Structure 1
Amino acid sequence: MTIRIAIRNSVHALALLLLSHVSISQVRLQVFLETPEGTYPGSVFVAGDFNGWDPGSPGELLQYNGKDYTIILDSLKPVPFQYKFTRGSWEDVEVMPDGSDRNNRVLELRSDTIIRLRVEAWKSAFSVRRKMSTAGKQVFALPDSFDMPGLGRFAKIHVYLPASYKHSRKQYPVIYMHDGQNLFDELRAPFGEWGIDETLDSLVRAGHPEAIIVGIDNGPRRVNEYTPFDTEKFGAGQGDAYVAFIANRLKPFIDKKYRTLRAPEHTAIAGSSLGGLISYYAWLSKPNVFGNAGVFSPSFWIAPRILPLTDSLAATVTGKCFFYIGEQEGDRYVKDMQEVADRLGARTRAIMYSVVDPIGEHKEASWRKWFAEFYLWIMGNGFNRQLRTR
């Protein structure tokens, strides 16, 4: 059964009318970038949904020509994409002149293009504005890092426990989430946090069900770990090893350490962007472990093989799958998600919720806005829903 909520407006229809009838498979973009005084001789990179939002990818390093930084990006697809400029990490990304966060830049190419842009300021110029920790008292960092077999690194884990945990003998459902840095604490979140702990505290006070949340920090090879298939641009996909780590090492530890409901119907996996992709893949490939999934703004563009995999495995999954994307992320990415959801819906017994938010963007603020809706639906009977469009 599918619950599809398509929140639309006239802007989308107008955009479709304006699309060119000429089919262009690839375009070339040259960027000339003016930067704040003192940037040179530092490095400048461009990161966006065309490179998995890698803030320091050598392939997207701009060159200094004595006046501006410049780069030529070949083989771009003529679809809308979002991007930002960085100095190699999300701790030093472009910001507004007053130091506040800058929205993602958006560009849609129809042909080979040259553009001139300006970075107003870098985040590091405002480092004196120290952020404060916002993690609630129910959020705990596990003292030991976890070896991740096949991935060559250790994982840092944070756990949210409901307020009733220490005063009861109840068992709780568990949601495993990726990009753990961005879930609970503004101090650790380079783009702003999801506010998971604050959201759940409020929902529980209102009488809604409780759950344990397990946040897994990402690592230096995030694109590879969250991608289940090999790609020409990014190399070997390590998604199978990452999912196996959660299913075979982390989940057994959490189930032993905490009072959990261990069955698949009480176990969910959720994330955004590449985290949305790997959440869907985990739910699809391991339904005996993960009974429910939250798929926010999934980067299906990087994994076209997800379509035939959906066709072959859809009949094996049950439970619930929540799909979300913002229309401001670009028509191509909306269509990618809807195609996967349509194929799944045609072949599965699972219950689905698919939503397109007309003002939603590819960023934490949008995912935070829809997390409560996902949580209430995934924890309820699968049919109740509450719309929040602003």
Structure 2
Amino acid sequence: MRSLVFLIVTGLLFYSCNSNISKVNNGEIIRIDSFPSKFVSPRNIDIWIPSNYSSDSLYAVMYMHDGQMLYDSSKTWNKQEWGVDEVISNLQNKRLIQNCIVVGIWNSGPGRHSDYFPQKPFEQLDIRFQDSLLNNVNRNSSEGLFYNGIQSDNYLKFLVEELKPYVDKNFQTKPDLDNTFVCGSSMGGLISMYAICEYPNVFGGAACLSTHWIGTFSADNNPIPESFATYLSNNLPGSNNHKLYFDYGTETLDALYEPFQLKIDSVIKTAGYDQNNWLTLRFDGHDHSENSWRKRLDIPFEFLLRINN
């Protein structure tokens, strides 16, 4: 396996030998520093491969947003992580899911909201409300929440037209719809939902944890959730070959989500989804954090990646 990883690494032009690469308990991380794009700002990509990665096998691919938060709590801003390598390795060891690799796409820091807020639902909003959002100030800095405008269409073009072809060329992937998935939480849940709607011929499943349906900081007099519901009612992909996973907790920011998720659930049911291809779960006591998402990550992974799915 080590020789195979060496061959992979030497073939990656942007591979980094940086000691800052996340440490994992299972498998291995391959870092691509500042992956270039004509659509969005460069960003790091952390690709996790299992310890038994082999040139004789092919692998499903899970694309995950907020890639710097996935693997190593010693390197994250809040000292939390998703525990992706442990969760997947445990499921694979139990033969509950197919072999897969994970492509962790780092967010762009202050551009995160711009990249992850779905563009078409934004454009459905009243122009005055759009302007108010674009002038909104980030709670944690003096920069605008959408300091770079809305870039989610460009972000998805980067993912589909630049990153995915690169991954499929350099790794042993199954590039088809049935083996390509997208996953994220909060704003990452929104962009995962948007990805499967905008590119239904690319992504066969989406996992949206603690989806941030309010889009900003307040649920009061907020037209954003309704805009998302309208968009989904017109753009959900066919239920015959797609799978959707949603969830939410009951604490901190997640405490706001239930009424909006229930509205989305109604839209999904109307579109023909059932228990075979759609799952929405509530987790009492779970809050809006990587620690909570880690506790339940095995559920969406098994739902999307289970053998003979």
- Give me the TM-score of the superposition, normalised by structure 1: 0.60
- Seen in structure 2, the aligned counterparts of structure 1 residues 163 and 377 have a Cα distance that, compared at 3 Å, is same
Take 1:376 and 1:358, find their aligned partners in 2: how far apart are those partners?
A: 20
The residue that corresponds to 2:230 in the other structure is: 308
Indicate the SS of the match to 1:301: coil
Bigger strand fraction: 1
Residue 378 in 1 paired to residue 304 in 2?
yes
Residue 156 in 1 paired to residue 44 in 2?
yes
How do 1:54-73 and structure 2 match up within 5 A?
A: none
CA contact (8 A) 1:276 1:296 kept: yes
The residue that corresponds to 2:247 in the other structure is: 324
Residue 187 in 1 paired to residue 110 in 2?
no
* One-letter amino acid of the counterpart of residue 37, structure 2: M
- Seen in structure 2, the aligned counterparts of structure 1 residues 349 and 355 have a Cα distance that, compared at 3 Å, is closer
The residue that corresponds to 1:252 in the other structure is: 165
**How far 1:315 sits from its partner (Å)?**
5.3
In the alignment, structure 2 segments of 5+ residues that lack a partner are 1-19, 123-129, 135-145, 216-223
Larger relative contact order, structure 1 or 2 (CA cutoff 8 Å, min sep 6): 2
Indicate the SS of the match to 2:297: helix
**How far 1:233 sits from its partner (Å)?**
1.9
**How far 1:147 sits from its partner (Å)?**
1.8
From 112, 121, 137, the equivalent of 1:222 is: 112
The more displaced of 262-271 and 313-322 is: 313-322
- Seen in structure 2, the aligned counterparts of structure 1 residues 270 and 330 have a Cα distance that, compared at 3 Å, is closer
In the alignment, structure 1 segments of 5+ residues that lack a partner are 1-130, 384-390
From 352, 356, 362, the equivalent of 2:282 is: 356
CA contact (8 A) 1:135 1:186 kept: no
Take 2:278 and 2:99, find their aligned partners in 1: how far apart are those partners?
A: 22
The residue that corresponds to 1:233 in the other structure is: 133
Take 1:133 and 1:173, find their aligned partners in 2: how far apart are those partners?
A: 22
The residue that corresponds to 1:344 in the other structure is: 268
How do 1:30-49 and structure 2 match up within 5 A?
A: none
* One-letter amino acid of the counterpart of residue 307, structure 1: A
* One-letter amino acid of the counterpart of residue 88, structure 2: L
From 197, 201, 213, the equivalent of 1:284 is: 197
* One-letter amino acid of the counterpart of residue 301, structure 2: Y
Take 2:308 and 2:287, find their aligned partners in 1: how far apart are those partners?
A: 25
Take 1:156 and 1:315, find their aligned partners in 2: how far apart are those partners?
A: 30
* One-letter amino acid of the counterpart of residue 186, structure 2: S
**How far 1:164 sits from its partner (Å)?**
1.8
Take 2:205 and 2:255, find their aligned partners in 1: how far apart are those partners?
A: 26
Residue 177 in 1 paired to residue 55 in 2?
no
The residue that corresponds to 2:7 in the other structure is: none
Take 1:139 and 1:332, find their aligned partners in 2: how far apart are those partners?
A: 37
The residue that corresponds to 1:367 in the other structure is: 293
Indicate the SS of the match to 1:360: coil
CA contact (8 A) 1:134 1:186 kept: no
The residue that corresponds to 2:258 in the other structure is: 334
Take 1:358 and 1:241, find their aligned partners in 2: how far apart are those partners?
A: 36
What are the Cα deviations for residues 178-236 of structure 1, in whole angstroms up to 9, with x where unaligned? 00111011122223001101122222222233211000011131011011234432442
- Seen in structure 2, the aligned counterparts of structure 1 residues 211 and 286 have a Cα distance that, compared at 3 Å, is same
Bigger helix fraction: 2
**How far 1:255 sits from its partner (Å)?**
0.4
**How far 1:382 sits from its partner (Å)?**
8.9
**How far 1:160 sits from its partner (Å)?**
0.9
* One-letter amino acid of the counterpart of residue 258, structure 2: V
CA contact (8 A) 1:320 1:382 kept: no
- Seen in structure 2, the aligned counterparts of structure 1 residues 135 and 319 have a Cα distance that, compared at 3 Å, is same
Take 1:382 and 1:233, find their aligned partners in 2: how far apart are those partners?
A: 44
The more displaced of 371-380 and 201-210 is: 201-210
Larger radius of gyration: 1
Take 1:292 and 1:237, find their aligned partners in 2: how far apart are those partners?
A: 24
Indicate the SS of the match to 1:233: helix
* One-letter amino acid of the counterpart of residue 245, structure 1: F
